[in-house]
Amino acid sequence: MTTPLVEMRDISIAFGGVHAVDHVSVDLFPGEVVGLLGHNGAGKSTLIKILSGAYRADSGEIRINGEKAEISNPRDARAYKIETIYQTLALADNLDAASNLFLGRELVTPFGMVDDDAMEAETRKIMARLNPNFRKFNVPVSALSGGQRQSVAIARAVYFDAKILIMDEPTAALGPHETQMVAELIQQLKAQGIGIFLISHDIHDVMKLCDRASVMKNGKLVGTVNVEDVTDDDLLGMIILGKPPAGTA
Amino acid sequence: MAEISQNPVQKRRGLIESLDIDMRLVGMIGALVLISLAFNLATGGAYLSPRNIFNLTIQTVSVAIMATGMVFVIVTRNIDLSVGALLAICSAMMAMTQARWLPGMLGLELGSPLIAPLTVVVGLVTGTLIGAMNGWLVGYQLIPAFIVTLGGFLIWRFAGWYLTSGQTIAPLDQTFLLFGGAEGTLGETWSWILGLALSLVALWAIWSARRSKLAHDFPVKPLGAELALAGMAVAAILGFVAILNAYAIPKGKLRRLFEAQGMELPEGYSAGHGLPYSVLILILVAVVMTVIARRTRLGRYIFATGGNPDAAELSGINTRLLTVKVFALMGFLCGLSAVVASARLQSHANDIGTLDELRVIAAAVIGGTALAGGSGTIYGAILGALIMQSLASGMGMVGVDSPLQNIVVGAVLVFAVWIDIQYRKRWGKT
């Protein structure tokens, strides 16, 4: 068996007495898409924010490629090649696409000055691949549509050779055409051996895109199943009732 | 790549858009021209005399220097109400250093060439340290900037009072006084040389930006438009130098200067002031701050944090340390302003810089810095300071009562922000 790309073991975090994530373990293999399902407040975003460095777990450990990883801030996560597409997209609305794509990792000239033209050129290249219709390179991203903003956020995650990609509700703000584009992108990235955590509350997305699904309820892990082995109703049952379907667990 | 370069972004663009002219800049320059012409008419030409323009310029420097720092503070969604008080404590520290401590305790002779540089260092360090402390309280201790600096507003001026026992300290070191304005100018020849050098720098900046865009196959402005802008920049720089050179040094002062060298004033000799050192400092600050804002990571992070603090944090930016840096820079600039302000007044009095915090904030805001954070420009803040000083000094010359002067400046501040909001609504610019 190959070494998991990510192992999150026995992770717990509490906010003011509320156990947002309560002894949860999940893992992710190379080239695999794992869906994280659950109601709002089930703890899936919180769990993933621990992996992306936005929160620190109270207890539990994270292993990357089998080795214990210390992730205490987003910079650490980036060092482990973990990239995140947040549900809120986490874009600085007042900056243009290139500035957002390279935020925190700017290209600089030999004199240490930010090289906007070089960054724009790189942004044009990756956008030509991800979203060929994208033209608005010189305006603040606040002037972009939901789909265009999403493609900037995706470009940022993909550009820097992520090994582990976290997508938090990547299709929530998108139309059917753009949703299809995201689906194709996920297939492409899978083929490159990238592991993807896909957070969603849309069961159809998960059934279509994921290999396995982990379901959470009230901060606890209900169970992890192979998507092939279950039906939509099984997953729905796990989400609502918080019980693994008979025969799989 | 090939198919991109064949796609010139938006072929049909309006003339103004293709020139990429900042409408807010045009508006502010328009307002400044209008104010100047109106006062010039009302004063029978005295307002736009070289002498008054010279005075106006040196009166603006102190507030303008601090306003550039305030842009960064406000862009990161903070505020600094303590800049006037910081200026006062820096000025007090420097006054004590040059008039008491260095001559008294360290035994440096009065007039020693070491006094001025050491004094300036003390002022800058004082400002930077207090600023950094403000930033630490805001960034790491999470006390709202409004409260931290409101406290500083009450603390620092009166800390300065204790330092000087409330006394006005004068005279100050002769070399130090050169930073004040009229006492220290480059003279005509060096002003022209500097003007030409600045023009070359401006041309180089425009040219290299264009070259870089062409190298990446990006759309550029029409060459004619670029040349016109370059011409305007050069004309503005050289015109400004010409005006400052045209303000002749008074005969009595020239005679004293010659006598100090043991010579007699030759018959019919005259000399212009040229560029004051204080204005030179402001130009330097403006250039450096603009480069920081536009071309450094620090500047990029300042604007990103102002636009979306969470996104900045998630991008791995240490926004707490950034807050410390921004406030430390603000403090440094307060120290620099204190050098210029106390040298111009040729003394340290405890009320130095009173109400400057409001002038500085107003200058930044009139210059288009949004209190919501994320947007603002350095040149806007300097123009804002110039507009406010123009109003104050013009109304003074026309003989408007001082209460009414304040009323007008207040109304202009509110009006300017209203215009800005309308502009944003209409054009959707940030």
Q: How many CB atoms lie within 10 A of CB A180?
A: 12
Count A/B contacts: CB-CB distance under 8 Å: 99
Here the contacts of B284-287 (C-beta below 8 Å, separation 24 or greater) are B285/B65, B285/B68, B285/B333, B285/B336, B286/B64, B286/B68, B286/B378, B286/B379, B286/B382
B261 close to A (CB below 8 A): no
Nearest to A128 by CA among A153, A151, A149, A105: A151
Specify whether the CB–CB gap between B170 and B129 falls below 8 A: no
pLDDT in tens, B30-68: 999 999 999 999 999 999 999 999 999 999 999 999 999
Task: Determine whether B173 is exposed, middle or buried from the number of CB atoms within 10 Å of its CB (0-12, 13-18, 19+).
Answer: buried
Above 80 in pLDDT, residue B5?
no
Task: Determine whether B248 is exposed, middle or buried from the number of CB atoms within 10 Å of its CB (0-12, 13-18, 19+).
Answer: middle
A138 close to B (CB below 8 A): yes
At A156, which amino acid appears?
R
pLDDT in tens, B11-24: 444 555 555 667 88
Same domain, A191 and A150: no
Show the DSSP H helices in B270-401 as ranges.
277-295, 297-307, 309-314, 319-345, 356-366, 378-398
Number of structural domains chain A divides into: 2
Mutation to test the B interface, candidates A80, A124, A133, most B Cβ within 10 Å = A124
pLDDT in tens, B372-416: 999 999 999 999 999 999 999 999 999 999 899 889 989 998 998
A135 close to B (CB below 8 A): yes
Backbone angles phi, psi at B143, to 5 degrees: -80, 135
At B369, which amino acid appears?
T
Spatial neighbors of B385 by CB under 8 A, at least 6 apart, are B60, B63, B64, B67, B359, B360, B363, B367
Range of the domain at A26: 16-81+161-249
Question: How far apart are the C-alpha atoms of B178 and B32, rounded to whole Å?
Answer: 29
Q: Where are the domains of chain B?
A: 49-183+277-398, 185-275
Residues of chain A in contact with residue B287, where contact means CB-CB under 8 angstroms, are none
pLDDT in tens, B76-92: 999 999 999 999 999 99
Residue A1: predicted pLDDT: 62
Nearest to A200 by CA among A241, A228, A235: A235
Residue B137: predicted pLDDT: 98
Smallest Cβ distance to B296: which of A100, A114, A120? Answer: A114
**Phi-psi region at A168: left, alpha or beta (left = phi > 0; alpha = psi -120 to 50):** beta
- Determine whether the interchain pair B316/A73 forms a contact, defined as Cβ–Cβ distance below 8 Å: yes
Nearest to B135 by CA among B215, B190, B79: B79
A90 close to B (CB below 8 A): yes
Same domain, A67 and A165: yes
CA distance readout (Å), A8 to A5, A25, A128, B237, B415: 10, 5, 35, 62, 57
Q: What is the DSSP-derived secondary structure letter of residue B28? A: H
Nearest to A9 by CA among A74, A64, A60, A51: A60
Mean pLDDT within B251-256: 84
Residue B4: predicted pLDDT: 40
Same domain, A236 and A128: no
B15 close to A (CB below 8 A): no
Token pair listed for A93:
């609305």
Residue B430: predicted pLDDT: 47
Same domain, A56 and A169: yes
Residues of chain B in contact with residue A50, where contact means CB-CB under 8 angstroms, are none
Q: What is the DSSP-derived secondary structure letter of residue A66? A: T
- Determine whether the interchain pair B307/A92 forms a contact, defined as Cβ–Cβ distance below 8 Å: yes
Same domain, A171 and A244: yes
- Determine whether the interchain pair B311/A128 forms a contact, defined as Cβ–Cβ distance below 8 Å: no
> Would you say residue A1 lies in a domain?
no
Smallest Cβ distance to B311: which of A52, A90, A142? Answer: A90
Polymer length in residues for chain B: 430
Specify whether the CB–CB gap between B335 and B345 falls below 8 A: no
Mutation to test the A interface, candidates B11, B216, B314, most A Cβ within 10 Å = B314
A72 close to B (CB below 8 A): no
Token pair listed for B142:
């999470």
Above 80 in pLDDT, residue B222?
yes
B1 close to A (CB below 8 A): yes
**Phi-psi region at B428: left, alpha or beta (left = phi > 0; alpha = psi -120 to 50):** left
Token pair listed for B85:
């008080």
Smallest Cβ distance to B315: which of A74, A113, A118? Answer: A74
Spatial neighbors of A221 by CB under 8 A, at least 6 apart, are A23, A24, A25, A26, A214, A215
C-alpha of B347 from chain center: 21
Residue B339: predicted pLDDT: 97
Question: How far apart are the C-alpha atoms of B403 and A139, rounded to whole Å?
Answer: 44
Last residue of a domain, one of A160, A185, A209: A160
> Would you say residue A225 lies in a domain?
yes
Same domain, A117 and A141: yes
Same domain, A155 and A195: no
Instruction: Name the helix (H) or strand (E) containing B27.
Output: helix B23-42
Find the largest Cα–Cα distance for chain B.
75
Alpha-carbon distance B7 to nearest alpha carbon in chain A (angstroms): 9
Instruction: Name the helix (H) or strand (E) containing A49.
Output: helix A44-51
Same domain, A137 and A127: yes
Last residue of a domain, one of A142, A160, A178: A160
**Beta partners for B272?**
B248
Same domain, A126 and A180: no
pLDDT > 70 in chain B, percent: 94
Same domain, A143 and A173: no
pLDDT in tens, B231-240: 999 999 999 9
B213 close to A (CB below 8 A): yes
A94 close to B (CB below 8 A): yes
Across chain B, mean pLDDT equals 91
Last residue of a domain, one of A160, A187, A208: A160
Above 80 in pLDDT, residue B1?
no
In terms of CA atoms, which chain A residue is nearest residue B299? Answer: A114
Smallest Cβ distance to A74: which of B9, B295, B316? Answer: B316
B216 close to A (CB below 8 A): yes
Smallest Cβ distance to B308: which of A74, A92, A137? Answer: A92
Alpha-carbon distance A140 to nearest alpha carbon in chain B (angstroms): 8
Domain B49-183+277-398: state its class: mainly alpha
In terms of CA atoms, which chain B residue is nearest residue A71? Answer: B316
- Determine whether the interchain pair A94/B310 forms a contact, defined as Cβ–Cβ distance below 8 Å: no
Question: How far apart are the C-alpha atoms of B303 and B320, rounded to whole Å?
Answer: 14
- Determine the 3-state secondary structure of B108 from DSSP: coil
> Would you say residue A134 lies in a domain?
yes
Residue A101: predicted pLDDT: 96
pLDDT in tens, B308-320: 999 999 999 999 9
**Beta partners for A63?**
A7, A68
Alpha-carbon distance B293 to nearest alpha carbon in chain A (angstroms): 10
pLDDT in tens, B192-217: 999 999 999 999 999 999 998 899 88
Same domain, A183 and A118: no
What is this model's ipTM?
0.90
Alpha-carbon distance A155 to nearest alpha carbon in chain B (angstroms): 14
Alpha-carbon distance A6 to nearest alpha carbon in chain B (angstroms): 20
Alpha-carbon distance A20 to nearest alpha carbon in chain B (angstroms): 20
Mutation to test the B interface, candidates A75, A87, A117, A144, most B Cβ within 10 Å = A117
Instruction: Name the helix (H) or strand (E) containing A168.
Output: strand A164-168
Question: How far apart are the C-alpha atoms of B106 and B286, rounded to whole Å?
Answer: 36
Same domain, A124 and A237: no
Q: Which residues of chain A have pLDDT under 70?
A: 1, 246-249
Nearest to B360 by CA among B330, B390, B324, B332: B330
B414/B259: higher pLDDT: B414
Residue B14: predicted pLDDT: 54
